[in-house]
Amino acid sequence: MELKENTIVNSMPRIGDLAPDFDAVTTQGKIKFSDFASDKWIVMFSHPADFTPVCTTEMSGFATRKAEFDALNTQLLGLSIDSVHAHLGWVQNVRENTGVYFDFPIIADIDMKVSKLYGMLQPNESETAAVRAVFFIDPSKKIRLIMYYPLNVGRNMNEILRALEALQTSDEYKVAMPLDWKKGDSVIVPPPKTLDELNARLADNSVEKIDWYLAKKNLN
């Protein structure tokens, strides 16, 4: 299949960047992102379109697990290139059908301004719908982790929560997380950066040493 030339002016924020600022209309009123949810983490996620099947399962997943995001001091913020009127209709439709209520703001990005600012429009996937992006933004508004999924594959809520908890635990304890880390597992302590630190690590029996550069400890 021939790929289209990418003519959409799309910025692609990267991990470590300050999250680009914007004003937006949402299902819970207008927001200015730089003032939004101060002192909280933000998980901002796009979905391709209201009233579509995969999106309905994903939004319902965010809604039913909202208490877990609250417990991690994290504000949810949805987005799609639909009007606020469509968002309201969809929220009400899902509430009527399933009892699940999307109790977090959903941006009506009808002019695609935010989608373009965050690289959510990926024209060889769709020129009119945002892909399934997830931006993990810390309380200083720095982007810490980015996920992009295509239109036909729903995201994994366990992984979104795991990654959020991993970022927060890493910040709190100044450690790194190994493959498949989950809360309660041991964590990786930073490797030595000098020979003195290496010698100290070799003599340190408080950590589980696989080798001098790979050592773990339990946070409990």
User: What is the binding site for ligand BEZ (CB under 6 A)?
Assistant: 48-49, 52-55, 129, 151-152
Tokens representing 104 are 């977090």
Nearer to ligand BEZ, 57 or 199 (CB): 57
State the minimum distance, in angstroms, from the CB of residue 130 to ligand BEZ: 10
Task: Respond yes or no: is residue 55 known to be catalytic.
Answer: yes
Nearer to ligand BEZ, 73 or 93 (CB): 93
Q: How far apart are CA 138 and CA 206, in angstroms?
A: 31
State the minimum distance, in angstroms, from the CB of residue 90 to ligand BEZ: 11
Nearer to ligand BEZ, 54 or 72 (CB): 54
Contact 107, 75 (CB under 8 A): no
Q: What is the DSSP string of 70-122?
A: HHTTEEEEEEESS-HHHHHHHHHHHHHHHS----S-EEE-TT-HHHHHTT---
State the minimum distance, in angstroms, from the CB of residue 129 to ligand BEZ: 6
* The one catalytic residue among 55, 81, 91, 143: 55
Nearer to ligand BEZ, 150 or 178 (CB): 150
Contacts of 148-155 with C-beta under 8 Å, sequence gap 24+, read 148/119, 148/122, 150/125, 151/48, 151/54, 151/125, 151/126, 152/54, 153/54, 154/54, 154/57, 154/58, 155/45, 155/58, 155/61
State the minimum distance, in angstroms, from the CB of residue 189 to ligand BEZ: 42
Active site residues: 55
